[in-house]
Amino acid sequence: MQPTSFIHAAPTAPGRSAAAAIAAATVISTVFVALDRSGGGHTPAEILAGIAGLATLKAVVHGVAIASVCAYGFGFATLAGRLGLRRPHVLAGLVVYLFGCAAMIGATIFDGFVIPHVAIDALSSPDRVGFAYNLVRNLGLVVNDLAKLGWVLQAVGTLAWSLALVRLSGAARRVGTVGVLSSALVCVLIALSDTRMPMSALLAVLLAQMLWNLSAAALLARQRPLANVVP
């Protein structure tokens, strides 16, 4: 049996770049998510006006989110490559994870661009307010479902790589353990949540993902070879 290439190779430039991409995306996206807010209001017209007033902020926040998801795709594709794309579960994990990224980008486009544009358009004609309000509510459900799908698919991809990492020793095993726990927590939280996730569950999902992301980034950035492992 031969050890995987991930174990013996010192970090390459792509590995360090991937680590930087994952870490930067995690920190920057967290900051910008904290900047996002709802418009408030009580009547449909007030709610739509509040959303329309935040259109620029939401475009910036969600534009950063899309860039962050792309950075995750690059970073974790590099991780999968170092684990060995000839290993079926590693390759399957990458495919599933990238589908999760696509779902997250879809949710981000609706939430950050489509919904504000619908609100802006409705304000130009009072006759459209009722229809636009109901449309925005329904689009909110689409955003919620796409985000849940994205999180679950990303968690499944993470689990596939983590099961490979826990077969290693040292730091790789510890990172793999973080990945297993993170994936399990994300899936449980989403399975137990209602149609609209409560803020506590949402924050727990983001925290679980943050711990995995930063752990994986640290592993990719290591300057020492990892311990041997069977393929």
Q: Write the pLDDT tens digit of every residue in 114-148.
A: 999 999 999 888 888 999 999 999 999 999 999 99
pLDDT value at residue 4: 45
Mean pLDDT score, 24-33: 94
pLDDT value at residue 186: 96
- Under 8 Å CB-to-CB from 16, ≥6 apart: which residues? 220, 221
Q: Write the pLDDT tens digit of every residue in 189-199.
A: 999 988 788 88
- Joined together, the tokens standing for residue 57 give 């902020």
Helical spans, DSSP H, in the chain: 5-8, 13-35, 44-53, 55-83, 88-109, 115-123, 129-165, 171-192, 199-220
